[in-house]
Structure 1
Amino acid sequence: MPEILFFHLQSRPLEQVLPTILDRAVSRGQKVVVELSSPERLSALDDHLWTYSDESFLPHVTAAEADAATNPVVLTTKAHNPNAAQVRICAEGVRIPDALQEYERVVLIFDGDDPDALTAAREDWKSVRASGASASYWQQDDAGRWEKKA
């Protein structure tokens, strides 16, 4: 069973926190698949990851690209694992997947200002806890740092 992490965004948007999470996973030698809810958000985050920092380079592709299987980070809108990733990130309304056994770590990033996202995250939290999986809940403080709450 993988480790499940719930990241509650409050003071910083996904565009600011996702590159750091991806950089850490890639630096540990892990492959990551990021599932987003729409092609528009996928396109926007794909563009953002190429330009978010002048000092950093984050290799990534979308699942539609021919070399997706060999890339460390793949962005997708589907519930698949095109690069045999050890880490799955679910964002923008995507729920925790049923196929948890494929991953070492599953991260749910949800917007604390979106009532629907909060409700869905609470449902996923209850489901994950009921399954006996290891889960932790992290919330941003006012400075954007993550604090473990549960």
Structure 2
Amino acid sequence: MGAAYFYHLTRQPVEAALPQLVERALAAGWRVAVRAPEEALSGLDDALWRGPDDGFLAHGIAGGPHDADQPVLLTAGDASANGARCLMGVGGTEITADDCAGMERVCILFDGTDGAALERARTQWRGLTEAGVEAQYWSQESGRWERKR
């Protein structure tokens, strides 16, 4: 069962943080699924076109004929179409213990300036840890990602 890493965004929006984290997951050799609300997929698609340092991260939006070939697949639902080993959840999407069981890593990115997003992340943390998923909390308050205990 993969661990769930919670990323508390305080210094940059998800559109800036996501490409950095996707790039790290790809460097680890994992295919990535990014689960987000349907209405957020277009903005995330744009963010990955720009990628870190304005570089392109190869990806696709679920529902196309080449989903299985995508190293990064943006989806509002199923995270298995591209054989992902890393699932990234943004926008408060549901992440379950079953999702974690099928992954090497699950990353949950949430906006630290949004009270509802904070509460949703706390609820997800409780649900996942109660189900036996190892969870880690990461903050960027110092300017770079640091694990908090």
The answer, yes or no, to whether TM exceeds 0.5 is yes
Q: Percent identity?
A: 38
Q: Corresponding residue for 2:7?
A: 7
Q: Is the 8 A contact 1:10 1:141 kept in 2?
A: yes
- Equivalent in the alignment of 2:44: 45
Tell me the C-alpha RMSD between the 2 structures: 1.6
CA offset digits 1:117-148 (Å, max 9, x no partner): 111111111122222221100111152x1121
Q: What are the Cα deviations for residues 85-129 of structure 1, in whole angstroms up to 9, with x where unaligned?
A: 000000011122342211111111011111111111111111222
- The verdict on how the C-alpha distance between 1:119 and 1:33 changes in structure 2, with shifts beyond 3 A counting, is same
Q: Residue 25 of structure 2 corresponds to which residue in structure 1? A: 25
Instruction: Tell me what 1:62 maps to.
Output: 61
User: Per-residue CA shift, 1:8-59, capped at 9, x if unaligned?
Assistant: 1111111111111111111221100000112x31011112211245662211
Aligned to 2:119: 119
Corresponding residue of 1:129: 129
**1:71 and 2:70 matched:** yes
Number of residues of Structure 1 aligned to a counterpart in Structure 2: 148
User: Partners in 2 of 1:134 and 1:98 — Cα distance?
Assistant: 10
1:62–1:74 Cα contact (<8 Å) kept = yes
Instruction: List alignment gaps of at least 5 residues for structure 1.
Output: none
Contact 2:19 2:47 in 1 (8 A): no
Task: Work out the CA distance in 2 between the residues paired with 1:45 and 1:87.
Answer: 17
CA–CA distance in structure 2, aligned partners of residues 6 and 81 of structure 1: 21
